Amino acid sequence: MISSIDLSPLVDWSRAQFALTAMYHWLFVPLTLGITWIIAMMETIYVKTGDPEWKKITRFWMKLFGINFAIGVATGIILEFEFGTNWSNYSWFVGDIFGAPLAIEGIMAFFMESTFIAVMFFGWNKVSKKFHLASSWLVAIGANLSALWILVANAWMQNPTGTAFNPETARNEMTSFWDVLFSPVAVNKFLHTITSGMVLASIFVIGVSAWFLLKKREPRMALRSITVASVFGLLASVSLALTGDGSAKQIAEVQPMKLAAMEGLYNGKNEAGLVAIGILNGQKKRDADDIFAVKLEMPKLLSWIAYGDPQHFVAGINDFTKGNASQGILSIPEKVERGKVARQTLTDFKNAKSAGNLVKADSLKSKFYDKEFLDNNFKYFGYGFNDEVKYYVPNVPLTFYSFHIMVILGFGFMVFFALFLFFSARGELPRRKFWLRLAPWIIPLAYIASEAGWVVAELGRQPWTIQDLLPTVAAVTKLDSGTVMVTFILFAVTFTVLAIAEVNIMVKAIKHGPKDEGGTK
Amino acid sequence: MPKKSERSVMYKVWRFYIDGFKDLSLWGRSVWIIILIKLFIMFVIIRLFFMPDFLKKNYTTDEQRSKHVLENLTSQL
């Protein structure tokens, strides 16, 4: 077994490096995704009204977007480098599933974003108002569509669909582009992600504008920006909650172990309640009925959210590890046995081919296209790499707390937008010093919520790089773990320096205000 | 040779970018310096020295790459 070789330091460093890069990359993306819509809306008001104040406002936020975009641009490329270096088995195994969406993403990002961003920044006095406005909208659309392709690829890892594994090449091959593109997980992930960007950007705009109001600088710009951002943010946060509900339903269907970890649910039950707030008790046994030290639970809500039925059974972690025949859930050891059969078949195929026994090789290859073998064995291929039951249980405290931080903050943001909209509509904002002082501090919370969402999505599905098919231990390149550690440290230093540079430039640009706004003089 | 009108369009696009970059404000220049430093670090230092593509570096054909991954997926069963 692979587990008998000590790969854990290598896997841990490789995972840490990927997580570091992804989290750093994600510091820039959501603001870009969200603020482009706000800028396009502000410019639309400018074009409609002809009021130069709106042009000034638009150009100021465009400047901040430009800083964020420029420093964040291409940070995602490092993730692709890591696929090739640290996760070579994985990057080969996924085959053309990543190739096609990422190629479209690259072309789209290059042509749509770079062309229209140039018009956005350089074209104020060189193209017509309407052409400039169209460019701003196309930047927003292009940036968000770019995100679509990478999220489609990520969704496939969470729920592989529209593909077939070719044992000859050891790669997955796309059988239906549309199944990959329109998988419900992909659609929901895309909508949830872009709406989270809209929420974060709205908080950013409100937080910065509140600072201007407190400093008694640019009050018209600040008040108008808050109005636009609070309306947009409120609508986006409602959409975020709805798409979050969609995500929960998808997870219940395709990654039920993740759902159990998100809720700290060890023993499944009917009429399962949703833990609104809770603290896990590390001393309690994991098969205890209740592992919480403190919790506030909403009865039946988890059953209803996950399955649309308040009576429905929600499986817990122990139902997956030990199995639950009455619910038709296989235990981990049963899945391991099925996965081993799939791996053995692949081994026999490889050996038959090497020995030149083409008849046997062809017969074994055909199994990988046989529905019964696919449903009963290949579906559990990844379980064939490790016998240990605990290996298949994600980090419950981290998943649980990340999920609850994200949800609690998400609902808090909704209240935040509603309050700012209320104060704005009543013309009370300049007097609401407490809320103005609070608003800038909500910005880091928005980033925490956004990163926490990815922690849930990615750590909650461990040990899988591709759900049920390829665990991290089989996906990793067999490198010296010391080398990966060195690059981790190198990246950590580089990313920290760049992040400090961005924050410095951003803060300077905010303090400078909209005096000579825009990318050109 | 492109026609005069095509040259004119290309020239306008060229000038559009050149003028845009020439007119960059101080913050715009700072951002571009950071972008260039970052791209140098990413594509020259990181890519060349720390993050080569393992399969491309060690194997010349897709068949060899498939064989290597197949070996990894089936080894020590």
Residue of A nearest to B62 (CA): A169
Tell me the mean pLDDT in the region A36-42.
Answer: 98
**Residues A3, A80, A20, A416, CA torsion sign:** negative
User: Over chain A, what is the mean pLDDT?
Assistant: 92
B31 or A195, greater pLDDT: A195
How buried is residue B1: exposed, middle or buried, by Cβ count under 10 Å (0-12/13-18/19+)? Answer: exposed
CA pair distance A407, A417, nearest whole angstrom: 16
At residue A517, the pLDDT reads 60
Cross-chain CB nearest to B53 (options A84, A170, A340): A84
A318: its two tokens: 């122990």
Q: To which residue do tokens 């209803």 refer?
A: A304
At residue A23, the pLDDT reads 94
B53 touches chain A (CB under 8 A): yes
Per-residue pLDDT tens digits for A280-311: 887 666 666 678 888 999 999 999 999 999 99
Chains A, B: CB contacts under 8 A, how many? 134
Listed by start position, the domains of chain B span 4-74
Tell me the mean pLDDT in the region A462-482.
Answer: 94
Weakest-pLDDT range from A231-235, A283-287, A315-319: A283-287
Contact (CB<8Å) A170/B47: no
Kindly tell me if the per-residue pLDDT of A4 is higher than 50.
Answer: no
Tell me the mean pLDDT in the region A228-242.
Answer: 98
Kindly tell me if the per-residue pLDDT of A267 is higher than 60.
Answer: yes
At residue A209, the pLDDT reads 98
The predicted complex's ipTM stands at 0.84
Contact (CB<8Å) A520/B41: no
A422: its two tokens: 């209320």
The model's confidence at residue B14, banded by pLDDT at 50, 70 and 90, is: confident
Tell me the mean pLDDT in the region B47-75.
Answer: 92
3-state secondary structure A199-222: HHHHHHHHHHHHHHHHCCCCHHHH
Kindly tell me if the per-residue pLDDT of A424 is higher than 60.
Answer: yes
CB distance A346 to A167 below 8 Å:
yes
E strand spans, A467-506: 470-471
A242 or B75, greater pLDDT: A242
CA A384, A390, A393: angle at the middle one, nearest 5?
90
The model's confidence at residue B1, banded by pLDDT at 50, 70 and 90, is: low
The model's confidence at residue B77, banded by pLDDT at 50, 70 and 90, is: very low
Kindly tell me if the per-residue pLDDT of A190 is higher than 70.
Answer: yes
CB contact set of B26 (below 8 Å; sequence gap of 6+): none
CA pair distance A17, A420, nearest whole angstrom: 39
At residue A192, the pLDDT reads 97
Amino acid identity, residue A247?
A: S
The model's confidence at residue A154, banded by pLDDT at 50, 70 and 90, is: very high
Chain B environment of A122 (Cβ under 8 Å)? 16-17, 19-21, 23
Residue of A nearest to B22 (CA): A520
Distances (CA, A) of A409 to A29, A242, A292, A419, A450: 19, 15, 21, 15, 10
Give the best-scoring range by mean pLDDT among A292-306, A441-455, A486-500, B32-46: A441-455
Give the best-scoring range by mean pLDDT among A101-105, A173-177, B24-28: A173-177
At residue B38, the pLDDT reads 81
CA pair distance A27, A444, nearest whole angstrom: 10
> What percentage of chain A carries pLDDT values higher than 70?
95
> What percentage of chain A carries pLDDT values higher than 90?
79
Contact (CB<8Å) B70/A498: no
At residue A286, the pLDDT reads 62
At residue A115, the pLDDT reads 82
Tell me the mean pLDDT in the region B23-41.
Answer: 81
CA pair distance B73, B77, nearest whole angstrom: 9
Kindly tell me if the per-residue pLDDT of A135 is higher than 70.
Answer: yes
B52 touches chain A (CB under 8 A): yes
Kindly tell me if the per-residue pLDDT of A75 is higher than 90.
Answer: no
At residue B11, the pLDDT reads 86
Tell me the mean pLDDT in the region A337-341.
Answer: 97
The model's confidence at residue A2, banded by pLDDT at 50, 70 and 90, is: very low
The model's confidence at residue A1, banded by pLDDT at 50, 70 and 90, is: very low
Cross-chain CB nearest to A93 (options B38, B69, B75): B69
Tell me the mean pLDDT in the region B39-46.
Answer: 83
